[in-house]
Structure formats: C-alpha cells, structure tokens
Amino acid sequence: ELLEETLFLTVNIIDRFLARENVVRKKLQLAGVTAMLLACKYEEVSVPVVEDLILICDRAYTRADILEMERRIVNTLNFNMSVPTPYCFMRRFLKAAQSEKKLELLSFFMIELSLVEYE
C-alpha cells in the first residue's frame, strides 16, 4: 500500500548507507526495514508504526534496535533524505515529453527492473 516513490527512496537510502557503513549480515534486514521506515516518514502521509515493522521482520529485532539503526542511518547520511531518484526523474521527464500511457508503463517497468538488475 506504499507509494512507488517510497520504494525508490528506500533503495537509495540503503545504497548510500551501505556505501559508507559496514553492516554485518545479521543486521542487513534491520537496515532495510529501517530504511523503509525513513522513506515512509519522508514520502507517505501515514507512516507504518514500528511494531508493524517488527512483525515484518518476524520479531527478529526490537523497537530499540530499529530506533538505534534509524539514528545510525540518519547520522551517516547527514540527515540528507531529499535526493533525486529514478522515479522522480522519470515522472518529470515523461510529463515534459507529454508521453503516451504505453511509454509511461514501459518506462516505469524499466526503472523498477533497474532496482534489482544492475546490468
């Protein structure tokens, strides 16, 4: 039920955080779910509560773990959450190009594919 912008911002936050910090494999899911929480706080109107995120992680982490990772990510990124994502760029580009619906669907499909396929 989250916006597409939230997905792209989540991936961006994870990428930038992992480029600067080493995270043990055991805490990688914690970093991901916390990045999603931060992206939701930035993009969404209603933010999921931390307890819902704990359930998503199958209770592998506590509320304190998530809040500590949130502090760590925000400090590592110097509170810079406002970044251009491929989704924002594509939305603006397609609007300026006055594109057809087919081209929009294909464009968004391609940028979603780029989230998992770097090649």
pLDDT of 19:
95
Q: Taking residues 100-119, report their average pLDDT.
A: 89
pTM of the model: 0.87
pLDDT of 49:
92
How far apart CA 22 and CA 62 sit, in angstroms, is 21
Query: How would residue 6 be classed by pLDDT, with cut points 50, 70 and 90?
Result: very high
Q: Which letter does DSSP use for residue 27 in this model?
A: G
Residues 6+ apart with CB under 8 A from 48: 37, 40
The CATH H-level (homologous superfamily) assignment of domain 4-77 is Cyclin-like (1.10.472.10)
CA angle in degrees (0–180, nearest 5) for 119-5-48: 120
Which run of H or of E encompasses 56?
A: helix 50-56
Q: What is the pLDDT of residues 73-89, one digit of tens each?
A: 999 999 998 888 889 89
pLDDT of 100:
93
Q: What is the pLDDT of residues 27-73, one digit of tens each?
A: 999 999 999 999 999 999 989 999 999 999 999 999 999 999 999 99
HSE, CB side, 13 Å, CA atoms: give it for residue 97: 12
